[in-house]
Amino acid sequence: MLGAWCKTRTESSKGTASVWGEAGRASLRWLIQRQGPGWTQDFKRHKKYGPVFTVYLGPWRRVVVLVGREAVQEALRGQAEAFSGRGLVATLNGTFDGVFFSNGERWRQLRKFTTLALRDLGMGKREGEELIQAEARCLVEALRRTKGWPFDPSLLLAQATSNIICSLVFRLRFPYDDEEFQALVRAASGIVVGVSSPWAQVRGWDPSLSKAPRQVCTVAAFATQQIQRHQRSLDTSGPARDIVDAFLLKMAKEKQDPNTEFTDKNLLMTVIYLLFAGTVTVSTTIRYTLLLLLKYPQVQERVQAELTRELGPGQAPSLGDRARLPYTDAVLHEAQRLLALVPMGVPRTLVKTTRFRGYTLPQGTEVFPLLGSILHDPEVFKQPEEFNPGRFLDADGKFKKHEAFLPFSLGKRVCLGEGLARTELFLLFTAILQPAVSGLFNIPPAFQLQFRPR
């Protein structure tokens, strides 16, 4: 059965320029390769078919794939409006809507609302920075309590980032040993593992086969409980304490409007996605960066030397310090580039029939902008599989921006949390790597030795 599904289908439409005719390579292998560093294959395919080709995901889904910086930028930035529709993440089909998955007027309204609500709550301002710095202090305190014993930092990091989004969405912060909070964070992380598995990709071939991961229910139950708490305590004269309050106030204002997008369902869906994105994305990136530092201790030493030189031990890093920490900034950028957290991009659709690179793509066509292929494009980043923070530094050691650094995507649906995520990455990472204040002696950290007779 799988064999039949994986059958390669190539339609050629001689005479007319049609993207469907260029290449139709559907395969389970293609999707599974996307789970790992399969970019070499993409670039080979790109060389054969060009940067725009078609993939059949099973017999039903036909997707246009964009490979490399030029094609993705030309589509998502050059024809931003046409490419602004959201496509399917089949595993979550039917479960999700809200700001992330909606389209048209609903998406426009929810995106505008969420962006403004985050700004009103201090994102991009001093208050937002203080909120993240306070969480960074709690995180470092919890890390110190591990007293040098080896431990898996996944849960703790995800709890720290989750607390930041919970503060913005619900004005709530949880202690790290709270079991209900731990279950919530585990559920949010489980959703990512669920939607990223090769099996989930195969089910994506036919959205009707797809079932939302069970962890969605845990996150939804928590969000519902918090929304109900807000409904009971809402002060209709304002001001909003958090995003849920802001949404409820907007709902009250538009109560008489039969076309309002400020509904219970859209509130729940928007909140669930924010919780999920706020918990998983930044913490995973920091975890990966720490892993790279374990592999490259000389990079860690350079980061810590820069932090000591520029901040001094014990001084909490702030965003204003960023310009004085070019190497640290370069390490974070390079780690994000190498990780390529969302390698296939999030599926888009065309909101109208569009001419693109000589092809006519009908309205509704699904598009996968392969962000990983930009971040690993060998023509932009030489030896892309190497971890080399130097790419983000100029000859004077100053931080150098890269036009192709696009882990947050681009265009009208660019990551809405980009500003928040960048601030969190910088403040949490620098706080973790901040050297401790020296005492009378410099005591080397505890470590374990494994003795194996030869």
> From the list 227, 416, 428, 432, which residue makes contact with ligand HEM (rule: CB under 6 A)?
416
The CB-of-100 to ligand HEM minimum distance in angstroms stands at 4
Does 266 contact ligand HEM by CB under 6 A? no
| Contact flag: residue 337 with ligand HEM (CB under 6 A) | no
Torsion 370-375-380-383 (CA) sign: negative
Q: How far is the CB of 108 from ligand HEM (least distance, A)?
A: 9
Answer for the pair 9, 26: CB distance below 8 angstroms, yes or no: yes
- Please choose, out of 32-40, 138-146, 206-214, 407-415, the segment that lies near ligand HEM by the rule CB under 6 A: 407-415
By CB under 6 A, the residues from 142 to 201 that bind ligand HEM are none
Which residues are CB-neighbours of 394 under 8 A, at least 6 positions away? 400
Distances (CA, A) of 52 to 46, 47, 61, 64, 256: 8, 10, 16, 7, 47
Q: Work out how close the CB of 224 gets to ligand HEM at its nearest, in angstroms, rounded to a whole number.
A: 19
**Residue type for position 329:** D
CB of 416 to ligand HEM, least distance (A): 4
**Which of 30, 408, 426, 429 is in the footprint of ligand HEM by CB under 6 A?**
408
Nearer to ligand HEM, 271 or 303 (CB): 271
If one asks whether residue 407 binds ligand HEM (CB under 6 A), the answer comes out as: yes
Residue 34's nearest CA partner among 344, 375, 369, 384 is 344
CA distance to 364, 379, 445, per residue, from 70 (Å): 22, 11, 47
User: Least distance (Å) from ligand HEM to the CB of residue 285?
Assistant: 5
Q: At closest approach, how far in Å is the CB of 345 from ligand HEM?
A: 5
Q: Give the number of C-alpha atoms closer than 13 A to the C-alpha of residue 260, restricted to the C-beta side.
A: 19
How near is the Cβ of 114 to ligand HEM at its closest, in Å? 6
> Could you give the 3-state DSSP secondary structure of residue 24?
strand
Q: Which residues pair with 369 in a beta bridge?
A: 66
Considering the complex, state which of residue 96 and residue 311 has its C-beta at the smaller distance from ligand HEM: 96
Identity of the residue, 185 or 311, whose beta carbon is nearer to ligand HEM in the bound complex: 185
| 219 part of the interface to ligand HEM, by CB under 6 A | no
Tell me if 217 is assigned to a ligand binding site: no
CB 368 within 8 A of CB 342: no
Q: Which residues from 269-308 bind ligand HEM, rule CB under 6 A? A: 273-274, 277-278, 281-282, 285
From candidates 166, 325, 367, 415, binder to ligand HEM by CB under 6 A: 415
The Cα 404–Cα 396 span in angstroms is 21
Query: Which residue type is seen at 287?
Result: R
Dihedral through CA 160, CA 161, CA 163, CA 165, nearest 10? 170
Specify which residues 348 forms β-bridges with: 86, 367
Helix, strand or coil, per DSSP, at residue 355: strand
Query: Please, which residue, 123 or 311, has the CB nearer to ligand HEM?
Result: 123
53 binds ligand HEM (CB under 6 A): no
Distance CA 173, CA 160 (A): 9
Check residue 106 for interaction with ligand HEM (CB under 6 A): no
Chain contacts with ligand HEM (rule: CB under 6 A): 86, 99-100, 111, 273-274, 277-278, 281-282, 285, 341-342, 345-346, 348, 371, 407-409, 413-417, 420-421
Q: Which residues are annotated as a binding site for heme?
A: 415
